[in-house]
Structure 1
Amino acid sequence: MRAYRIAYDGQPFYGFQRQPDVTTVEDTILDALRALDVLGTTADTPPGYAAAGRTDAGVSALAQTVAFDAPDWLTPAALNSELPADVRAWASADAPDEFHATHDATSRTYTYYLHAPDASDERARDALDALAGEHDFHNLTPDDNGTVRTLSPALDREGPFLVVELTAGGFARQLVRRIVSVVAEIAQRDAPLARIEQVLAPEPLDGPEGVAPAPATGLVLTGVTYPTLEFAVDETAAASARAVFERQRVDRATRSRVAGALTDYRE
């Protein structure tokens, strides 16, 4: 059994999990394994296959983890040979036969880059402090089960961005993005800190009191913890990943500047 760290730009994909009629990250990985003859001719997945989590459409990842019974020659660089540029394996670890990439993860960390140049860092930090610890987050997810979580938040400022980092054993659907929306209400739009008490209350929030998720494009799965695994970076694969995503960074920075020029146009 071997586990692989996978980085991907989520914008071209309809999420991680396989779907029948749209392109997903998982489909892309399994297509690569099929092309490398790791699946054989009839299997849908290799033996023991599992992934750390299911990111939504548009969400990116640095530390998505997939594990399965892999041949010795299947290094991250070898896997990359059949992956598209925006999906890159960059590290791997040997794992015991009974390892499961979903169930054996002890924590997951998501980082959200919120463009909020005028937001109050202090109010954002107060909001996150109020959300820290164990709570029932049923008003911040469409899920009916698994809504009680123990949350460890952190906050940083990078220029115009508030960087919201959230760590827990697991996350219900849309929980991270809805937490970010609540933080933005308080830090950008001067909602009272009592808004936290409202969203954590047992009563359901409906209609205009409900919390919509923040856009998916700001979210990155940045960490998945497995205490028993030691990942080794494949330097060739990691260099390929850095080069790919640096090209994307430059391209998007250029497009952002062009959009700025169009916004600033004066006749």
Structure 2
Amino acid sequence: MRNLLMKVSYDGTHYNGFQTQPDGRTIQDIIEKAIAGLSGETLKITASGRTDAGVHARSQVFNFYSDSPIPPERWCSALNSRLPEDIVVTDAQEVPLDFHSRREAKRKTYRYTINSNQFPDLFNRRYQFHHHGRLDMQAMEEGLKHLLGTHDYTSFASRRSTKPSHIRTIYSAWMEVDTSMCRTGNTRDQGVLHTYLTGSGFLQHMVRIIMGTLVEVGEGKRTPDSVRTILEARNRAAAGPTAVSKGLMLWDVEYDELSLIRPQTDF
């Protein structure tokens, strides 16, 4: 028996999220079916966390137990030949038997993308929220700073959240603007705004509610300092709307390197 860790990238457009659902096609379902076709094993994979319908991933992590003799370096190509083109396994390695991809995760980074040019980008429309009006990006960045640290993020959690505690830590948060698609001489185009948040973990819809609130700051409907007031309210009704899912991407999941090292067995 071996415990295998894998990383997967996916376009979540046509899926009902990562985690198996009774009424929807999910990334987990497709991967498990591919594993069954490859190794003949019917099993359940454990992911670092779930992503909602329409959300994408650059580096989602999952693990599972297998009796298959297939070496780790062969798994990626073998699985990818059985997966649809919008799901790609990018890494595979053997880890200790007690490794758990969700419990062992130390940090997660999400990226949310807003296209603030006048017109949407036809070729990236699946991965960007297009905002047709001008945004005060400096005000948004100032508001974002109020979310750093360890707080109760109830105001930025879905009302359906079942977590016993809404206390989380956001270690870093920053914005980057890509102006490469701005039209020359056009003063209406503002560029593509990428917002990154790295934290100990995130609540259901947390990043999307944060972004929906920051968009209202950018529109002038809220002040940057109001983000702190919203946080302190611990009330979902105090925050802005939940931003559309297609702009969100699970960017990275980090682990303590020691937890990934498989002990050597002496014979």
- Smaller-chain TM-score bracket: 0.7 to 0.9
Cα displacement (A) at 1:67: 0.8
2:57 to 58, 61, 64: 61
Cα displacement (A) at 1:223: 0.2
Cα displacement (A) at 1:20: 2.0
Letter in 2 for 1:81: S
Deviations 1:103-154 (A, max 9, x none): 0010110000012343222112101111111111101112253311111211
1:9 to 8, 11, 16: 11
Cα displacement (A) at 1:93: 2.4
Distance 2:35 2:235 in 1: 44
Cα displacement (A) at 1:177: 0.4
Aligned twin of 1:154 = 174
Cα displacement (A) at 1:38: 4.0
Aligned twin of 1:244 = none
Percent identity reads 29
Aligned twin of 1:125 = 141
SS in 1 for 2:49: coil
Deviations 1:148-170 (A, max 9, x none): 11112111111222110001111
SS in 2 for 1:75: helix
Q: Number of paired residues?
A: 222
Contact in 2 for aligned 1:116/1:188 (Cα 8 Å):
no
Letter in 2 for 1:123: A
Distance 1:61 1:38 in 2: 27
5+ long unaligned stretches in structure 2: 118-133, 180-190, 262-267
Q: In structure 2, do the counterparts of structure 1 residues 30 and 153 end up closer, same or farther at CA, with 3 Å as the change threshold?
A: same
| Residues 28-177 of structure 1 mapped to structure 2, 5 A cutoff | 28-39=30-41, 43-45=42-44, 49-70=45-66, 71=68, 72-73=70-71, 74-117=74-117, 118-142=134-158, 143=161, 145-151=164-170, 152-159=172-179, 160-177=191-208
Cα displacement (A) at 1:202: 3.5
Distance 2:249 2:234 in 1: 30
RMSD over aligned Cα atoms: 1.7
Contact in 2 for aligned 1:137/1:149 (Cα 8 Å):
yes
1:218 to 221, 227, 247: 247
Aligned twin of 1:261 = none
Distance 1:201 1:122 in 2: 22
TM-score (norm 2): 0.78
Aligned twin of 1:18 = 20
Cα displacement (A) at 1:88: 0.5
Cα displacement (A) at 1:194: 3.1
SS in 1 for 2:13: coil
Distance 2:200 2:148 in 1: 13
Cα displacement (A) at 1:44: 4.1
Cα displacement (A) at 1:183: 1.2
Contact in 2 for aligned 1:140/1:178 (Cα 8 Å):
yes
Moved more, 196-205 or 106-115: 196-205
Q: In structure 2, do the counterparts of structure 1 residues 36 and 203 end up closer, same or farther at CA, with 3 Å as the change threshold?
A: closer
Cα displacement (A) at 1:195: 1.9
Distance 1:63 1:203 in 2: 31
Distance 1:132 1:116 in 2: 25
Distance 2:65 2:40 in 1: 9
Q: In structure 2, do the counterparts of structure 1 residues 203 and 133 end up closer, same or farther at CA, with 3 Å as the change threshold?
A: closer
Deviations 1:176-207 (A, max 9, x none): 0011111111123342123213311245253x
